[in-house]
Structure 1
Amino acid sequence: MMLLDWILKNRSKRWKVPLKPPKLSDTNSNEEDKNHLKEDEKQLKENKKQLEEDSRQVEEEQKQLDEDKKQLKDKKQLKPLKSHQTRRSKCNIVLEIVVVFIGSILMFFGFIQGPLQPASFKLPAPPKFEGVLAANTKLQEATNIFQGRVFGPESIAIKDGVLYTGIDDGRLVAINGTEVNTIASFHASNDESIPCGIPAIEHLCGHPLGLRFDKSGSSLYIIEAYSGLYKINLTSGTAQHLSKYNDQYIGEHMQFVNDLDVTSEGVVYFSDSSSQWHRRDYAYLGVEGSATGRIFKYNPSTDRTEVVLDDLAFPNGVQLSPNEDFLLFCETTYARINLLFLKGTMKGQVVSFVENLPGLPDNIRASSNGGYWVGFSVVRKQPFSLFDFLSDKPWVRSYISKIIPPDVISRYMPKYGLIVELDQLGNIKQSLHDPSGEVVPGCSEVLDTGDALYLGSHNNPFIAKVTLKK
């Protein structure tokens, strides 16, 4: 009835419902009244019937509307949920596959015996490039000489204006003006078809490293990385093999003979960077961080070689003091230079000369100012040094060694040219930089002639020359 009241109240035009009862006639014409009444009753019945039919239709429409709302609600809730569940399911499957794949790789390499047994160590935070270490572009003023004619000239010696250096195809060469002449070859094989200059066969071709003249300047002492210590008389052209890699008095064989210095009496101090890794694997030595290196002493009066120090982490460049009362040697892995007393009450003792250098030191040589020049093959780059970060994570370095060859590791080391000059007490006096690494990507050694610096590197195909300003 409520629906009927609403229709009556709003005067729907669809149904012809009398709004007021008919007014009776005063003439008492009963027949007319009856007829009108019958017609009204008939009309009312029709309207009631129509109303009932419309009510049923409204109910059906309301029922259909409720059903449509329910279906719409189901679409909004159930279907997106189903799609979301499908996406989650696919994501989970992909994630599980990735996890299983990575886990399989880690397990695979975990069972493989890697070439390294990495040691854990921790260095102090690298020094900031400020003050005397502030970055500059002084090395970008260098001139690269003999580009493409000398590959890997790590160490350089000079006599009468002629430069001498060893290169990666196993030759010792003399550079006079524009000429590059071969002085000696350290090939272990007579097969001339061997393509020397390739790291994988470097042991067959040889690689001369450290060079020094004796005090008279008549003999040149050479370290060949694989076979040991040599002496060449430049006047007569004769050569002597003074100390061999498998010398019977040294214990474990030399594997990576590196640098040297010679006293006025002809005693030679030289380094063997590792008793395990060859020079061609030097990147592995740096990644492993092991301490199997040694310092040797060759005595010409006895013709014997003896171990002076052992258990060193990548001993590298060596340099005698002006009075020959102590020996400085770079310990590359630990970014420091040590001092070994050769005379006096502290003879045989080792102390630190300079700690926490801004890079990994290679060779050390005297400067014309009475101090020392140090070259860095790798810089502990600011603000993040990957070498420092991995130093106390031996398991990461172990995995690296299983999947990346040493020549690839060395190829992607950061390029940054840096050399520093130390005073007699080990304080840094000045630094020369090439932050871009475009002119001088790295430096192994600095030869100071007083008017110029000659920079050698085991990686560069040239010698860099920096003219000193008076």
Structure 2
Amino acid sequence: MGLLWLCRRLVRITVDIAVILLIIVLLPGIPPDASFTSTEHDECLPLEGPLAKNNKLDAADRIMDGKIVGPESIASRDPEEIFVSLHGGKILRIWGPKFDHFKIVASIGPGCDGPWQEKVCGRPLGLRFAPDGRLLVADSYLGLFVVDVDTGEKEQLFDISQEIDGAVPKILDDIDVDAEGNIYWSDASTVCTLEDGLVEFLSDPSGRLLRFDPKTKSNTVLVKNVHFANGVQLSPDHEFILFCETFKNRVIRYWLKGPKAGQTEVFVDRLPGMPDNIRSNKNGGYYVSLIGVYSEFSRKINGIIGKLPLLRKLAVRLLTMTRLVFDSFTRIYPNQYTERIAYWILNLHPISQAQTHFSNLTIVVELDAQGNIINSLQGNSGKVLQISETDRVGNYLFFGSPYNKYLGSLYVGPSVIEVEGKGVKIKTGKEPALQREEQVNKKEIIKEEKDLSSDENVQEIVQEDRGEESAYKKIGKAEKQSEEIKEHMKLKQKVEHVADIKINDIVEKEAAAVESKEKLENTEKEEL
């Protein structure tokens, strides 16, 4: 009798829960105001060819590690200066040959207690310099601003709370500007704000690409129904504009001029992760940063939930209702604990962190002018993660992120080979395709043979030469004087072989560089 009663009770509870969930799914008017349909997810491109796994990003460095939060976007007006957008609505200037000086130059919002209040203090996502030299700032919550980075003065260009073509922008994301001052910007969602980005992820596309005319102060919608419209980049000739569709793993081209003006087409698709911002690689192509890279598990989950719109709708409504409960409690009794919980309930950050948990793989895809994948920068050590933007400034690549507490950097200028502890430094004159990983291998070889005890003799080779003899003759004399010098030359040749450098070519370049005694005195130490 007791067992039968328990079974009936369980069945009744199950039926009651099912009815309640069914009401939540089917009852109209329950927030959010979003639609849900079945979707198919294409298979991602395999990691082969230009996407073959490599460890180029593992040679990157971290700037201001632990001192900043969320360096999302980067802009530059000088090879030794960058501006970075941060959590808290701040714009940070970093400058110097080693980018070791920094200063907050502007604040978009009034300030707040923490990231969970970003809708108050603002969250700048996209940065670009306008033709007049001022910095354009796309703030997700507060709108589009122009900032004089030398004085800190700012001006709002339009109110983001106003309707544009029947919908209010909810996530002002990225921007680019043409020579006439027209600003192209992405509205990632019209159904949720940035802190509730999971709603856009699980619902149907609502993002847009727009153009702001500074003369008429009006906005025009160029493309609708984009699944999280993100990074924006004009082509060098301004014939078309590219924008990332993050949740469909692709980049779309919108033609501005020519016979296809007003039309859209896929520029590149089936990317192995979610593209965030897109930027020029300064050679006619583009860097596309993947904020998250799919694992096999995440691909399967996306495929399953894409075909279950009612389940996605139920999940979003339940989470939204939970969020409303915590928001109500915070309004009645203000405190940061319930405010923080409400902030994280529909946030995309936990989704991104979950992907990182399964794999540390980080990828930046490089495209040519036609949208073909020509190269990729990858890392799996966790040195840099969750990259939102990749920018080339001078001899460095900088990597932004909405979540990291550092700015990534990678030196990509002319290679310099250095024999540690021996005082030998050789300039190759190459513009490497990111050869830091090769330098790591060279250092390992040097360490294995570091039992050479000829430090003083090596110093004799590289000491200042006040005579007229070439570096080649000096090395020849040193070889005759000491067997240890011969061993060192073998080691140097081995290092040069790793970098595909022939010693004879280097010597010829050095001989040409020392045509005069005065030039030798000024440059010999640096060249060696």
Fold shared, TM-score > 0.5 on shorter chain: yes
Greater C-alpha radius of gyration: 1
User: Which deviates further from its counterpart, 103-112 or 123-132?
Assistant: 103-112
Match of 1:128 in 2: 46
Contact 2:106/2:153 (<8 A) preserved: no
The Cα shift of 1:250 comes to: 4.3
Identify the match of residue 194 of structure 2 among 260, 279, 287. Answer: 279
Cα shift readout 1:282-324 (whole Å, capped 9, x = no counterpart):
2221122x22211111112222222222222211111000001
| Alignment match, 1:360 | 274
The answer to whether 1:211 aligns with 2:155 is no
Looking at structure 2, the residues matched to 97 and 138 of structure 1 have their Cα atoms a distance apart, in angstroms, of: 60
Distance of aligned partners of 1:376 and 1:105 in 2 relative to their CA distance in 1, 3 Å threshold: farther
1:267 maps to: 182
Q: 1:150·1:167 contact (CA, 8 Å) conserved in 2? A: yes
Alignment of 1:92-131 (within 5 A): 104-112=16-24, 113=30, 115=32, 117-131=35-49
1:202 aligned to 2:118? yes
Secondary structure of the residue that 1:460 maps to in structure 2? coil
Residue type of the alignment partner of 2:351: S
Q: Distance in 2 between matches of 1:106 and 1:114?
A: 20
Cα distance in 1 for partners of 2:17, 2:379 equals: 40
The answer for the alignment partner of 2:68 in structure 1 is: 150
Alpha-carbon separation, structure 1, partners of 2:61 and 2:11 = 52
Aligned to 1:139: 57
Corresponding letter in the other structure for 1:202: E
Judging changes above 3 Å, is the alpha-carbon distance between structure 1 residues 435 and 118 closer, same or farther for their aligned structure 2 residues? farther
Whether 2:264 is the aligned partner of 1:342: answer no
Taking the aligned partners of 2:84 and 2:10, their CA distance within structure 1 comes to 52
Which of residues 416, 427, 430 in structure 1 aligns to 2:375?
A: 430
Please state how far the C-alpha of 1:125 moved relative to its aligned partner.
1.2
Question: Alpha carbon RMSD of aligned pairs, Å?
Answer: 2.6
Q: Aligned partners of 1:131, 1:207: CA distance in 2, in Å?
A: 37
* Matching residue's letter, 2:103: N
Native 8 Å contact 2:72 2:389 kept in 1: yes
Corresponding residue number in structure 1 for 2:346: 406
- Identify if the C-alpha distance between structure 1 residues 250 and 179 changes in structure 2 by more than 3 Å, giving closer, same or farther: farther
Q: How does 1:36-435 map to 2 (within 5 A)?
A: 104-112=16-24, 113=30, 115=32, 117-160=35-78, 161-176=80-95, 177-187=99-109, 190=110, 194-198=112-116, 201-215=117-131, 218-247=133-162, 250-288=165-203, 290-382=204-296, 385=299, 386-402=301-317, 405-407=345-347, 409-410=350-351, 412-415=353-356, 416-435=361-380
Question: Which residue is equivalent to 1:30?
Answer: none
- For residues 61-100 of structure 1, the C-alpha deviation after alignment (integer angstroms, 9 at most, x for no partner) is xxxxxxxxxxxxxxxxxxxxxxxxxxxx98x999887776
Q: Deviations over 1:386-420 (max 9, x none)?
A: 32332222223234334552237436430131111
- The alpha-carbon distance between structure 1 residues 424 and 147, as it changes in their structure 2 partners (threshold 3 A), is same
Residue 210 (structure 1) shift: 0.4
Equivalent AA in structure 1 for residue 148 of structure 2:
N
Q: How many residues end up aligned between the 2 structures?
A: 373
1:445 corresponds in structure 2 to 389
Task: Provide the C-alpha distance between the structure 2 equivalents of 1:274 and 1:420, rounded to a whole number of angstroms.
Answer: 25
SS of aligned partner of 1:414: helix
SS of 1:327's equivalent in the other structure is: strand
What secondary structure is seen at the aligned counterpart in 1 of 2:168?
A: coil
Q: Distance in 1 between matches of 2:6 and 2:378?
A: 48
Aligned equivalents of 1:208 and 1:118: distance in 2?
29
Distance 1:273 1:368 in 2: 26
- Which moved further from structure 2: 445-454 or 382-391? 382-391
Cα drift, residue 132 of structure 1: 1.6
Q: Are residues 352 and 236 of structure 1, via their aligned partners in 2, closer, same or farther at CA, if it must alter by over 3 Å?
A: same
SS in 2 for 1:413: helix
Residues 244 and 355 of structure 1, relative CA distance in 2, 3 Å threshold: same
Query: 2-side partners of 1:96 and 1:425: how far apart?
Result: 65
Q: CA deviation at 1:205?
A: 1.1
Determine the C-alpha separation between the residues in 1 that align with 2:276 and 2:5.
51
CA contact (8 A) 1:342 1:348 kept: yes
Identity, % of aligned positions: 30
- Give TM-score, length-normalised by structure 2: 0.65
Question: In the superposition, relative to structure 1, how do residues 179 and 414 fare at CA in structure 2: closer, same or farther (>3 Å)?
Answer: same
The one-letter amino acid paired with 1:129 is: L
Structure 1: tracts of 5 or more residues without a match:
1-88
